[in-house]
Amino acid sequence: MTDLAKKRIVLGVSGGIAAYKAAELARLMMKRGIEVQVVMTESATRFVSPLTFQALTGRPVFSDLWDNRLDNGMAHIDFTRDASAVVVAPASADFLAKLAHGNADDLLSTLCLARACPLMVAPAMNRQMWEHPATRRNVSQLKRDGVGIFGPGSGEQACGEEGMGRMLEPEELLFDIEGFFQPKRLSGRKVLVTAGPTFEVIDAVRGITNLSSGKMGYAVARAALEAGAEVTLISGPSCLKPPASAKLIKVTSAQEMLGAVQEAVSEMDIFIGVAAVADYYVLNPSEHKIKKDAHILTLELAPNPDILANVVNLPKPPFCVGFAAESESLFEFAEMKRHRKNLPLLAGNLVQDAINNDISELTLFDDEGAHPLPRGPKIQLARQLIAHMAKLYDLSTNPKNP
Ligand code: CTP
């Protein structure tokens, strides 16, 4: 896993009202131990004073190509020489256009052209500017050039309009930047992830479900994306925001989840079943709300299909990973489940600890035994799971490569 601490980031700020959010981003970066060098466009300095960034980062801020504070007068070369990345936030429509066309008429655009490190941008502009064909062309070009594009988000804009164009919040941006640095172990791979609970209908207003929030499954999908995979996320009911670049398929019941998995699985390299699938469904659900009376109500339940077993037993199954949420004897039950389900890798946790928590514990079980991961945020656990899985996957596809 890649840590942000000790990275050197050039934070480019271009002209837009979202420049004020870049001050908070600089503060968060400093808090994570990143060395931050701020470079502003001339118009950015009209929104926020360079002094603000200087105070936050403890470094002088540069914006002029002809600045003589550096002995060799080559700020555009010096700043990116040992940089881990350049992050431009906010990136205005004009700045995206400059980047897409390789223009270099100020310090920030020149150092973006002269850099040898990765470039990430966080667009921020009025929604019509974002939707304009010229901006769409520029963004497509930047994607083709390997530039990381984070956001924009949608919502209320400074101009009073609603729509796409808001710069992502600083915490979200830092999260995306961290993701960008993760090793691309699954580049070119297609990964299918199931997540969340399922909901089995009893009547028009009731159903059977469980306490799964989907947090672990969404974190696994995100970690797979960060590792360079193309990810399809099949999710039961969940309020979580899915990772932006995953293909999301929303389902309700276990049967629907199975149908969606069967439709998608043939082209997948890897299947990761994180969903807490209901083991039973109601045999005769009522179309209308069941009225209460004084009698005992009996529901007839029938077993749901095991989605993971279905995939494992395909003639040409993808590499399969299972999850086990147990309430006791984790090591014993998880290992038994791995054998019973015939899985090369299974991740297990204790439900009391994992359900709805952002921080939990996870143990990986494979042919070599149990590998407990250090307690941490779910995204951190998911990244470690993906790293471990990628090694086993490579071995399974190329057994001669130790
Ligand atoms: N799973 C599945 N379909 C089901 C039940 C489970 O795909 N109908 C998958 C889960 O996504 C998980 C793994 O199987 O990857 C284990 O799920 P779990 O609920 O822990 O195990 P079960 O097989 O349902 O066994 P039990 O409930 O008895 O522990």
Coil, helix or strand at residue 91: strand
pLDDT of res. 72: 76
155, 240: one domain: no
Q: Which of 117, 159, 239, 320 is catalytic?
A: 159
Q: Residue 82: exposed, middle, or buried by beta-carbon count in 10 A (0-12, 13-18, 19+)?
A: exposed
In a domain, 220, yes or no: yes
In a domain, 185, yes or no: no
Q: How many residues does the chain have?
A: 402
Cα(301) to ligand 1 centroid in Å equals 17
196, 169: one domain: no
Q: Are strands 153-156 and 162-166 parallel, antiparallel or unpaired?
A: antiparallel
Does ligand 1 lie within 6 Å of residue 10's CB atom?
no
Tens-binned pLDDT, residue by residue, of the chain (402 aa): 568 988 999 999 999 999 999 999 999 999 999 999 999 999 999 999 999 999 999 999 999 988 888 777 777 788 888 999 999 999 999 999 999 999 999 999 999 999 999 999 999 999 999 999 999 999 999 999 999 999 999 888 777 778 889 999 999 999 999 999 999 999 999 999 999 999 999 999 999 999 999 999 999 999 999 999 999 999 999 999 999 889 999 999 999 999 999 999 999 999 999 999 999 999 999 999 999 887 888 999 999 999 999 999 999 999 999 999 999 999 999 999 999 999 999 999 998 888 878 899 999 999 999 999 999 999 999 999 999 999 999 999 987 655
Q: How many helices and strands (H and E) does the chain possess?
A: 15, 19
- Inter-residue contact 224 to 321 (CB < 8 Å): no
Model's pTM, two decimal places? 0.91
| DSSP 8-state symbol, 276 | B
In a domain, 374, yes or no: yes
276, 335: one domain: yes
Among 156, 180, 204, residue at a domain's last position = 180
Handedness of CA 181, 24, 238, 338 (dihedral sign): positive
Q: CATH no. for residue 301?
A: 3.40.50.10300
pLDDT of res. 107: 95
pLDDT of res. 401: 59
Atom of ligand 1 lying closest to residue 346 CA: 15
Q: Residue 336: exposed, middle, or buried by beta-carbon count in 10 A (0-12, 13-18, 19+)?
A: middle
Does ligand 1 lie within 6 Å of residue 281's CB atom?
no
User: What is the domain extent for residue 255?
Assistant: 190-397
321, 215: one domain: yes
174 to 27, 72, 78, 207: CA distances (angstroms):
11, 32, 24, 39
Cα(275) to ligand 1 centroid in Å equals 8
**DSSP result, 170-181:** HHHHHHHHHHHT
Q: How far apart, in whole angstroms, are the C-alpha atoms of residue 346 and residue 109?
A: 47
Q: CATH no. for residue 55?
A: 3.40.50.1950
Please indicate whether residue 239 is annotated as part of the active site: no
Among 120, 151, 180, residue at a domain's last position = 180
What's the total number of domains in the chain? 2
Atom of ligand 1 lying closest to residue 311 CA: 7
Q: Phi/psi zone of residue 60: left (φ > 0), alpha (ψ -120 to 50 degrees), beta?
A: beta
304 to 207, 254, 278, 350: CA distances (angstroms):
15, 7, 7, 23
pLDDT of res. 369: 96
